[in-house]
Chains A and B, each alone.
Chain A
Amino acid sequence: MPSPPDAALRATLDWLRKQPSLRYAEVRFVDTRGERLRVRDGRPEQVTAEASRGVGIRVLGAKAWGFACSPDTSEGALLAAANRAVAIARASDAVSRAPVVFPGQAAARGRYETKLAIDPFTVPLEDKLGALDAPVRALRAGDARLASAEAWMDWTRQDKRLLSTEGTDVTQSFTFGACGMHVFARGDDGESQRRSYPTWQGGDGFQGGWERIHALDLGAHADRVKDEALALLVAPPCPSGQRTLLLESSQVALQIHESCGHPTELDRVFGSEISLAGGSFLQPHLLGNLRYGSPLVTLVADSTRPGGHGTFGWDDEGVPAGTRPLVDRGLFVDYLSSRETAVRVGRASTGTMRADGWNRPPIIRMINVSLDPGEAGTLEDLVADTDDGVLVATDKSWSIDDLRLNFQFSCEIAWEIKHGKRTRLLRNPFYTGITPRFWGSCDAVCGADDWRLWGVSTCGKGDPIQSMHVGHGAAPARFRDVTMGSAS
C-alpha cells in the first residue's frame, strides 16, 4: 500500500477535534491507481494507466455537513481543506432549520485487503494485451459480416485510510478487475447485432487478481459468441405479448440492481437524490408490510462475501461490513442505509456509505445485493420445465422510472422455448413491467450451481455523479405473464 500521509492526517484530525462548532469529522485518504486496456479489431484502442491521490474531509457542524478535499496531502494543504470544510458547514448551518441527527458509532480499527492469488499489477503489460488480442482476432475470423470486435480489461487498486473524531482508524486495500469481449455482426441490409461475453460491458467486474482472467477464458467462448451474433442477423424479431420470461443469471443481476438495489437506498427514499436519480416507491410505511415479490424471492445485502464487487471491511463512516436481508421470502424488510438515514426509520446503519474517491463525500451505495438461490436446478432444468416461454440473456439497454417502478430492459439475445426446449433465436427482445408485480410473478429460481456473483463497475449516483463498484449474486429465474416486445 502507498504510504498514507499519517502525520498530516492526524494533525488535521487533531485540529478538527479542537473546533468547538463540530460534532463529528472524518479524514479519508484515498490512493487509486488503475489500468484500462482496450483492444479493438487488432489494434490497441486504449492503453491507459491511472492514478489519483488525495484526502477528503467531511465535518458535521451544529446543524449541517461540510465537505472539502485536497489533492495535496501535505499538512498545510490538509489544514486548509479542513478550514474550508468547516467554513462550508458554518455557511450551511446559518440557513438550516433542523440539525442533522447523527448517531454515534463505536470506533472501528483494523485492516481489510482483497484476497487474490496473482497481483494483476505484477503481470506484464504485453501479457495483458496478448490476452485481449487473441480473442479479438478469433471473434473477427471466418466471416466478413463480423464487422468489429473488442476486448477489454480494467484493473483498479484503491487504498484507503479513514480516521474520525470517534476514534475510527481503518485501512483498506481493494483490487477490482473487469474483463470481457464483444463482437458486432453487420448484415448486407445494415442490420447490426452485438454479442458479448461474459456479459454486458460494465457488468463483468470482480474483486480479485489475475487468476480471474484465466477462469474467464475468453478464447474458449469466441466461437459461440460470434456464431450467435451472426445468427441474430437473420433471426426474427421477438414477438410482442404476455409471455413466460426466463432471465439468465447476469440479467437477473441487472434486474436486482435497478429494481431492488436502487429503490432500497434510504437517501433516495427521503428525497436526497432527486437531483439526479429520483426517489423510491419503497416508503417507510411499507417496511415490513409490502409484499415485494413472491415467497421465492429473498434478496440480501452482504458486504462480507469474498470476491464481491461490493465487499469491504468498513464503509466510509466506519460501520463494519455485514449481512442483512432486504426482502425476506417476498416481504420488504430493510433498507440500504447510512447512520443519518437509518435513525430516521428507527434502525442502525446497514453500512453502505461509500465515496468513489477522495474528492467526493460518501453517499449510500449498493454493496452486494443478491438473490438467494432457489430449488429449480440449473438453467437447462428451468428450460425443460417451461412449456412456452422466452429466455433472454445479456442486457443491452436499461431504463426505469424515478420511483423504480416501471422498468424496460432490452437484451442482446432471446430464445423461444416450446415444450421444454429452446427452438429458435429471436432478436432485439425487450421486456417491461412494474417492480413488485414483476417480482411477485417469480415462480422459479435456479439453484446454487448456477448462482454467480456479478460485479457492476459503473453504477452512477450522486450529484456530481459518482461511479461505484457494486455486486449482485443471482441464479437464472422465471417470471410469468411478462409484457415483451421487440425494438426492431
Chain B
Amino acid sequence: MSDLLSLARDVLSEAGEAEAEIYLCVAERGCARFAGGELGQHMQLSEPQAVVRVAHGRRVAEAVTSRIDREALVLAVHETARAARLVPEVEGFPGFAGAGGATGETPPRYAESTATATPEDRVERLVPALDAIRAAGLVSAGMLETSRSSHAIATTHGCARSHDATIASFRVWALETPGAGGAAGYGGHLHRDVRALRVQEEAERAVRICKDSIGPVSLDEGTYDVVMEPEAVTELCEWLAAIAFGAPEVEQGTSPMAGRLGERITGDTVDLVEDPCDASELGFGAPFDREGTRKSRVPLIEKGVARAVLYDRTYAARLGAASTGSALVPGGIGPTSLAMGAGAAESVDDLLSGVDRGLYVCRLHYVNGFLEPRRAVMTGLTRDGCFLVEKGKITRPVGNMRFTDSLLEGLARCDGMTRGRKAIPTWWSDVGAFVAPAVRIRALRFNGRSQEGWR
C-alpha cells in the first residue's frame, strides 16, 4: 500500500459518524524553461494537494489543502464536517464510493528515469537542442519538464486506490525573432520515460518549420480546405471537451450534445472517445478519478453520432446514469484522455495531396469555444507554421489567419485523417493528454488576417 493511501485511511478513522472521502496527490515537477536561447526559469515545483469531502446525509462540504500531514488532514476533516452541517442538501448525492466497482489492469504510467531526473539531467538533454537551433541562426524557447506524481483515494465506505505516474515533456520553438513575431516553428513530444523523449528530432522539426515560414504571403479571407496537424486538432478538441461532454453542460442545455444523444452531430468519419486506459505510449490518464471511480473507455461520438457524456457520481445519480469516472481534480467534470480515432491516410502528405488550394496548419493559438456553444462555434488563429497548399503540395508560407466556424459542422466536412496519432498534453491537467491524428477539413471559414496593415 502506498504511503499516501495509508495516510488517507488513517485520517478517515477520525471522521466520526460522517461519511468522508480523501483524495491525495503529491507532484514534484522539474521545469527547465528556456527563452531567447537561455535557461531563464529553471524550477523545482512541489504541488501537494488534498481534497477532503465530508457528508452528513446529502449535506456535503469540501476542503482543498496543500498540507498533507496527519494533523492538517484531521483538522480539515473536522472543519469540513462542521461546514457540511450548515449547507443545504445536494440533490442526488449518492454518498461516496465503496470498495466495489470496476477493476482492471492498471495501464503503465511510470518510469523511474523520469522520477529521478535531476536539474543536470534536464540541462544535459536540452543543450543539443538549444545548440541546433542557435546553429540554424534562430532563437529557441520552450520547456523540458520531468515530473512524478503519486495519487491516492480512500473513503469511509472502503474505497482505496493509489497510482503513481511520471511525465516527461518537451516543447520547443525555433523563432526568427525572440518575441516580435516573424517566422516560428514548433516541435513537441510527451512520454512517460524521459529517455524516450525526442528532443533532438523535435528541435529539428521546429527549425525546419521556422525556416520554411520565412517570407509569408497574405491570403484573402474566405473558406479554405485545411490540413491540420494533431497539435491544432487537439486544441479544438480541448474546447469541445470544455463545452460539450460534461453532464453539467448537458443538464444546463448549453452543450451541443444536450437532447441529441443518438443523433448525428458531425461527420461519420469522426470518433471521439474518452480513453484513460490506453496502455500504449499515447496513454497518460490515471485509472481512477477524484472520487475513486475506476475509469473506463467511454465512446462520446461514434461515426458522427452523439453517444454519451461524462458523469461524476452525483450527476450520474441525479440523471439516471452511471459515473464514468470523470470527476476532475479539484472540481468539475470532463475528459482527461480524449482520443480522436485514426483514419486511413498514411501521412500528412497524403492528406495534402487531396487539396487543390488550401492551408496546412501546424498549430492554433487562443482558440475560444464560447461564441455559440450549442453549435460549437469557435474562433482562433494559426500559429507556428501556416502554409498555402496548391495542387496537393505546400508552395509557400502564409501569414497567420483567424478562423471562425462551427467545429461540429467543420468536422462534418472532414474527409481524411492520418493513421498515425500523437499525444498532446492538456493545459489544464497534469495527468492527462489528448490524442489526435492530422485531419483534413473542407471549406473552413477564415475571417481575418493576424497582423496585416496595423502600421
Q: Please give the residue numbers on chain A whose beta carbons come within 8 Å of chain B beta carbons, in ascending order.
A: 42-44, 46-54, 64-71, 81, 84-85, 87-89, 91-92, 94-98, 124-126, 129, 133, 147-148, 184, 186, 190-192, 194, 268-276, 278-281, 283, 359-361, 396-403, 405-406, 408, 410, 428, 430, 432, 434-437, 463-465, 485, 487-488
Contact = CB atoms under 8 A, between A and B. Distances in A.
B45 A401 contact: no
Contact of B402 (A51, A91, A125, A401): A401
B244 interface: no
A190 B179 contact: no
29 contacts: A43-B91, A44-B87, A48-B61, A49-B83, A51-B64, A52-B65, A67-B43, A85-B44, A88-B44, A92-B32, A184-B252, A268-B179, A271-B178, A275-B33, A275-B143, A275-B173, A276-B427, A279-B179, A359-B45, A396-B370, A397-B368, A401-B451, A402-B181, A403-B180, A405-B450, A406-B448, A406-B451, A434-B451, A488-B372
A334 B114 CA distance: 43
Nearest to A51: B65
B127 interface: yes
Contacts of B29: 464
A192 B139 contact: no
Given A95-B123, A274-B175, 6 more contacts: A44-B87, A51-B64, A51-B66, A65-B41, A91-B122, A192-B374
Contacts of B367: 399
Contacts of B371: 396-397, 410, 428, 430, 487
Nearest to B37: A97
Contacts of A464: 29, 31, 45
A397 B87 contact: no
A420 to B, nearest CB: 30
A66 B42 contact: yes
Interface in B22-74: 29, 31-33, 35-48, 60-68
Contacts of A272: 35-36, 40, 141, 179
B80 interface: yes
Interface stretch (B150-158, B189-197, B375-383): B375-383
B46 A359 contact: yes
A190 B260 CA distance: 10
Contacts of B39: 64, 92, 95-96
Given A67-B41, A94-B123, A405-B450, A399 B366 contact: yes
Given A44-B90, A69-B45, A126-B86, A49 B61 contact: yes
A259 B83 CA distance: 42
Nearest to A147: B253
Nearest to A285: B180
Interface of B: 29, 31-33, 35-48, 60-68, 76, 79-80, 83-84, 86-91, 118-120, 122-123, 126-127, 130, 139, 141-143, 171, 173, 175, 177-181, 184, 251-254, 258-259, 330-331, 365-374, 377, 379-381, 383, 400, 402, 404, 427, 447-455
Contacts of B44: 67-69, 81, 84-85, 88
Given A399-B381, A401-B381, A403-B181, A71 B46 contact: yes
* 9 pairs of A and B residues whose beta carbons are closest in the complex: A271-B179, A271-B178, A279-B179, A487-B371, A274-B141, A91-B119, A397-B370, A52-B66, A92-B39
Contacts of B65: 50-52
Contacts of A361: 41, 43
Contact of B454 (A97, A147, A436): A436
B179 A49 contact: no
Nearest to B400: A401
Contacts of B373: 192
Contacts of A133: 88
A43 B89 contact: yes
Contact of B62 (A47, A147, A274, A405): A47
Contacts of B171: 275
B7 to A, nearest CB: 14
Contact of B380 (A87, A191, A399): A399
Contact of A184 (B89, B91, B120, B254): B254
A53 B64 CA distance: 12
B402 A432 contact: yes
A398 B35 contact: no
B368 A190 contact: no
Contacts of B254: 184, 192, 194
B280 to A, nearest CB: 26
Nearest to B374: A192
B253 A48 contact: no
Given A275-B142, A401-B450, A403-B181, A48 B42 contact: no
A271 B35 contact: yes
A64 B119 CA distance: 13
Most buried by B among A191, A463, A488: A463
B372 to A, nearest CB: 4
A98 B233 CA distance: 38
Contacts of B87: 44, 47, 125, 129
A437 B400 CA distance: 18
Nearest to B401: A406
A94 B124 CA distance: 10
A400 B61 CA distance: 38
Contacts of B126: 95
A465 B372 CA distance: 26
A229 to B, nearest CB: 12
B454 A281 contact: yes
B366 A401 contact: yes
Contacts of B35: 270-275
A485 B371 CA distance: 11
Nearest to A405: B451
Nearest to B171: A275
Contacts of A98: 38
A226 to B, nearest CB: 15
B62 A46 contact: yes
A65 B40 contact: yes
Given A49-B80, A399-B368, A281 B67 contact: no
Contacts of A89: 42
A97 to B, nearest CB: 7
A87 B365 CA distance: 35
Contacts of B83: 47, 49, 125
Contact of A271 (B141, B369, B381): B141
Taking each of B36, B142, B367, B381, which has the highest tally of chain A beta carbons within 10 Å of its own beta carbon?
A: B381
B179 A270 contact: yes
Contacts of A65: 40-42
A69 B46 contact: yes
A283 B141 CA distance: 18
Contacts of A402: 181, 365-366, 381, 383, 400
A67 B42 contact: yes
A51 B181 CA distance: 40
B88 A408 contact: no
A22 to B, nearest CB: 15
Nearest to A400: B366
Contacts of A398: 368
Contact of B123 (A42, A91, A396, A430): A91
A194 to B, nearest CB: 8
A133 B126 CA distance: 53
A406 B449 contact: yes
B451 A403 contact: yes
A190 B79 CA distance: 43
